[in-house]
Amino acid sequence: MIKDVQNQKDLRNIPIQKVGVKDVEIPLRIERKMPDNTSTLETVYAKAKMSVSLPCEYKGTHMSRFIEILNDYQKENLVSTDIEQILFDMKKKLDAKNAYLKFSFKYFLEKHAPVSNLKSLMCYDCAFEGEVDENDEYKFYLITKVPITTLCPCSKEISKYGAHNQRAMLKIKVSYDNDKHIWLEDLIQMAQNCASCEIYPLLKREDEKFVTETAYENPKFVEDVIRDIVTKLNENEIINFYEVEMEAFESIHSHNAWAYQKFQK
């Protein structure tokens, strides 16, 4: 029989908070919100980060079991709603008090150009994050990064014509009551509503005119975007935690403007 080194006693008397695997590439099945509020399943490219706590008496955790758990769920079409169950499986199969996981993935949404109404697919970096603690309390986080346009209010105000504008990234992480649900689709739209103007993959000339003028009519500092998104998040009664981060890749500098807000009910 092959010796189980991980199972050996450890004498340093140090429990470890998190030990596991990172950058595990997997296909992930995601529920997509349909126009009629039903959902459909779809496979996306994802990276998994998974860890458990390790009691002081064990030398190591059994890393291959994380991959086996993922594989078990792959067979059954791993879906995001399985996250709580996966975490409890991790606790059980790795004999651990705490379990943590994060699935980061690429998610496409159909966008309609604002005037021509032409469709195209836009990709968003999203993530599901979850943890279960020693009291079996489950906590879930929904994360998205939404590219938007910001146009500088100061530049507009002080210049004879024009105003500098740029691609910017609004990152939102939320947690909400476990018996409720927030769709990625809705969180992404909430972010886009805080922009000087939304971003689109496909824009014809009439659309380009529209986005240029819309951004000019809605100048926003990174501070404005943060305040607008915070206002919307505060109004949402099921959200009990949020962390928002706004970064604008300034067209007039090679550094970025940045703002950050965190809230825990």
Site for a copy of itself in 155-214 (CB under 8 A): 155-167, 197, 199-206, 208-209, 211-213
- Residues 215 to 234 in contact with a copy of itself, rule: CB under 8 A: 215-216, 221-224, 226-228, 230-231
Give the separation between CA 263 and CA 243, rounded to whole angstroms: 6
| Least distance between a copy of itself and beta carbon 129 (Å) | 14
- Residues 100 to 119 in contact with a copy of itself, rule: CB under 8 A: 106, 108, 118-119
In 3D space, the residue among 165, 173, 120, 166 whose CA is nearest the CA of residue 145 turns out to be: 173
Region from 15-23, 84-92, 126-134, 172-180 binding a copy of itself, contact rule CB under 8 A: 15-23
- Residues 122 to 151 in contact with a copy of itself, rule: CB under 8 A: 122-123, 147, 149, 151
The phi and psi torsions of 216 (rounded to 5 degrees) equal: -65, -35
Instruction: Decide whether 44 or 187 has the Cβ nearer to a copy of itself.
Output: 44
Q: Select from 77, 85, 120, 178 the one that contacts a copy of itself (CB under 8 A).
A: 120
- Per-residue binding string, a copy of itself, 40-69, x by CB under 8 A, is ---xxx---x-x--x----xxx-xx--xx-
6 binds a copy of itself (CB under 8 A): yes
CA 218 from centre of chain = 26
- 82-91's contacts with Cβ under 8 Å and 24+ in sequence apart are 83/128, 83/130, 83/140, 84/130, 84/132, 84/138, 84/140, 86/130, 87/130, 87/131, 87/132, 87/138, 88/132, 88/136, 90/50, 90/52, 90/66, 91/52, 91/132
User: 65, 27 in Cβ contact below 8 A?
Assistant: no
Region from 3-11, 30-38, 79-87, 136-144 binding a copy of itself, contact rule CB under 8 A: 3-11
CA 45 from centre of chain = 14
Instruction: Decide whether 33 or 164 has the Cβ nearer to a copy of itself.
Output: 164
Q: Select from 14, 36, 37, 40 the one that contacts a copy of itself (CB under 8 A).
A: 14
Give the separation between CA 15 and CA 13, rounded to whole angstroms: 7
Cβ-based neighbours of 204, under 8 Å, separated by 6 or more: 113, 115, 116, 118
Buried b (16+ CB within 10 A) or exposed e, 197-209: bbbbeebeeebee
Instruction: Decide whether 15 or 181 has the Cβ nearer to a copy of itself.
Output: 15
Region from 16-24, 33-41, 85-93, 174-182 binding a copy of itself, contact rule CB under 8 A: 16-24
Degrees, nearest 5: CA angle 51-56-59:
75
| Least distance between a copy of itself and beta carbon 140 (Å) | 20
Give the separation between CA 129 and CA 67, rounded to whole angstroms: 17
257 binds a copy of itself (CB under 8 A): yes
| Least distance between a copy of itself and beta carbon 88 (Å) | 21
Region from 30-38, 91-99, 120-128, 185-193 binding a copy of itself, contact rule CB under 8 A: 120-128
Instruction: Decide whether 180 or 204 has the Cβ nearer to a copy of itself.
Output: 204
